[in-house]
Amino acid sequence: MGTVYDVITPELTAWIGQQRIIFVATAPLSVDGHVNCSPKGLDVLRILGPCSVAYLDLTGSGIETVAHLRENGRLVLMFCAFEGPPKIVRLHGRGAVLAPGESRFEGLREHFPDMTGARSIIFMDVDRISDSCGFGVPIYQFINDRDQLTKFHAAKGHAGLQAYRNTKNAASIDGLGGV
């Protein structure tokens, strides 16, 4: 049976730090809107305190998480053990989009690696922390991070990424505002 925690314990912090993929889930308020679940890799997540986390949001082909958070703030992060003992951890809470140039973005930026494609920092106030067994999650072996996204960002450069965001990240698939 699963456990609900009051805070992100040091043990959970260490375990989360070993996971190579994060699943980020959000949804619009509209019942006709699309629920979104985005996998995140690379070294983008930081545990900032007992009930706060943040991750570096990299430029990609969609803007669902940002659009949903700006509309309603609901956010869940899920971590699965694909190696070692089976375990799933979910962090539920309220998320905020911090854009470059904002004081909160600049204050947190030092916690993350310097990555060309950074478009925001997603900050989360965690109000529910739970784990479950993960018995049904398959075992996979991590080989390496993919480098296509960082190469794409580097090839576009700052101006090219801004133009890309203006066309590909202007609105969510449901028409909510993006960047």
Number of Cβ within a 10 Å radius of residue 64: 25
Residue 158, pLDDT > 70, answer: yes
Which residues, 6+ apart, have CB-to-CB distance to 73 below 8 Å? 94, 95, 96
Separation CA 80–CA 71 (nearest Å): 27
Which residues, 6+ apart, have CB-to-CB distance to 17 below 8 Å? 47
Give the per-residue pLDDT at 22.
Answer: 97
Per-residue pLDDT tens digits for 80-102: 999 999 999 999 999 999 999 99
What value does the mean pLDDT of the chain take? 96
Give the per-residue pLDDT at 104.
Answer: 97
Residue 1, pLDDT > 80, answer: no
Per-residue pLDDT tens digits for 18-55: 999 999 999 999 999 999 999 999 999 999 999 999 99
| End-to-end CA gap in the chain | 41
Separation CA 39–CA 25 (nearest Å): 9
Give the per-residue pLDDT at 124.
Answer: 98
Domains of the chain as residue ranges with CATH:
3-168 (2.30.110.10)
Give the per-residue pLDDT at 146.
Answer: 95
